[in-house]
Amino acid sequence: MATDDTSVGGVAGRYASALFELASESSNVEGIEGDLKNFQALLDESPDLVRLVRSPVIAADDQAKAIAVILDRAGIGGLTANFLKLVTANRRLFVVQDMIKAYRSLAAKARGEITADVTSAFPLNDEQIAALKDTLKSSVGKEVALQSRVDPSILGGLIVKVGSRMIDSSLKTKLQSMKTVLSGA
């Protein structure tokens, strides 16, 4: 699937595009997106899994065995499991998070949505997510799919990226700005 979306470029984009085509052919775009969200959640929860995914020193066989067990325990099967096993066998697992992001972007685009990356200091509740989606929808004029992550280092507020636009209302950035002003720089 040729695309002009720069967020699906490079190795990650090629893998994500191939997976998206297969998912479209089997009419399972949302199911695979859900599996990929689950795998991303596992990565977000486990620094050990992130090390397994990113480490070039772990032997390919060991990585493949570990991923197979993780997928089995997480209940991720079918096309998604085969895809992740192929990525592991091809020694491209280190970019799997970019592949997931690119796939989700392709799926959102196919639904007529735009994807927004949201970083918050604390997990957002359902009410906050709904309010943020409504605000972004009125701003961009399209349905918005949120990809959220938690980064306690921003202290408070949000960092929202929609396409090439970024809105940084984090407390960390505001404090740095105040520090710069107060130091007379």
pLDDT tens for the 185 residues of the chain, in order: 333 444 467 999 999 999 999 999 999 999 999 999 999 999 989 999 999 999 989 999 999 999 999 999 999 999 999 999 999 999 999 999 999 989 988 998 898 888 888 999 999 999 999 999 999 999 888 888 888 888 999 999 999 998 888 999 999 999 999 999 998 75
Pairing of strands 158-162, 165-168: antiparallel
pTM strictly above 0.75:
no
Given this model, what pLDDT does residue 185 score? 58
Q: CA-based angle 28:34:39, to the nearest 5?
A: 125
Architecture of the domain whose range is 6-107: Orthogonal Bundle (1.10)
- Rounded CA separation 118/122 (Å): 11
Q: How far apart are the first and last CA of the chain?
A: 49
Spans of all domains in the chain? 6-107, 112-182
Given this model, what pLDDT does residue 8 score? 63
